[in-house]
Amino acid sequence: MPTRPYVIDTMISAKSIAARIEELAREIKEEFQGTDKLVVVGLLRGSFVFIADLVRELDLPVEVDFLEASSYGDGTESSREVRILKDLRGEIGGRDVLLVEDIVDTGFTLKHVIGLLQSREPHRLKTIALLDKPSRREVDVKADWTGFEIPDEFVVGYGIDFAQRNRNLPHIGKVRFTEAEQA
Ligand code: PRP
Ligand code: MN
Ligand code: MG
């Protein structure tokens, strides 16, 4: 999908993200202390950078698995319909599970995936999201841990895309359009 020209202003630096992940990892280690194996589930694609940094801060026995869900596709508006494009490889019944998400916006994705994972009866399911936009919420859901609460800005980077672009930015930026919308 072509888009009008934009620039990206830094919102959260790579350094601030790293510091926050250290704090979050400490809390997660406390919560899951003594687990025989924690299954850390990344929600593709957006969480791929966050999960990579997070698991490297967790000195717990960890298994990494992925689930692919999509609600935005190439657009910028939630379809409110969450499609599972790729399921987990492993079983999670009776296991400790940490679901890792990059951002909670309307909440449809997180709510849907929590429901799906709960139906498989894990021993314990916890959720973490790097970013939360509470002002955009349409369904009642909140991650157990949140990295940063942010205002309603279009954010990109650190795994998050704008029409599939800018996922490789090392920090979180906000999109600023440099030309007015065509009439
Ligand atoms: C984005 C983001 C979250 C979800 C949040 O994923 O990564 O998963 O939307 O929005 P919601 O709270 O309104 O559901 P997207 O569907 O764009 O897929 P992607 O992770 O592959 O970019
Ligand atoms: Mn996503
Ligand atoms: Mg997306």
CA of 69 to the centre of ligand 2 (A): 6
pLDDT tens sequence across 111-142:
999 999 999 999 999 999 999 999 999 999 99
The per-residue pLDDT for 115 is 97
59 annotated active-site: no
Asked whether 109 lines ligand 1 (CB < 6 A), one says yes
CA separation (Å) from 30 to 23, 26, 54, 62, 125? Answer: 11, 6, 14, 14, 15
Nearest CA to ligand 1 atom 21: 45
Please give the model's pTM, rounded to 2 decimal places.
0.95
Asked whether 102 lines ligand 1 (CB < 6 A), one says yes
CA of 183 to the centre of ligand 2 (A): 31
Check pLDDT > 70 for residue 51: yes
Catalytic residue chosen out of the listed positions 36, 59, 65, 105? 105
Q: What is the mean pLDDT of residues 77-92?
A: 90
Measured torsion, CA atoms of residues 159, 151, 73, 18, in degrees rounded to the nearest 10: 10
Confidence tier at 71 by pLDDT (50, 70, 90): confident
CATH dotted code for 13-151: 3.40.50.2020
Asked whether 136 lines ligand 1 (CB < 6 A), one says no
The per-residue pLDDT for 80 is 82
- Compute the distance between CA of residue 86 and CA of residue 44 in angstroms, rounded to an integer: 9
Check pLDDT > 90 for residue 74: no
SS (H, E, C) 88-154: CCCCCCCCEEEEEEEEECCCHHHHHHHHHHHCCCCCEEEEEEEEECHHHCCCCCCCCEEEEECCCCC
Check pLDDT > 90 for residue 70: no
The per-residue pLDDT for 1 is 58
Check pLDDT > 80 for residue 73: no
- Compute the distance between CA of residue 144 and CA of residue 159 in angstroms, rounded to an integer: 20
- Compute the distance between CA of residue 177 and CA of residue 130 in angstroms, rounded to an integer: 24
Ligand with an atom nearest the CA of residue 83: 1
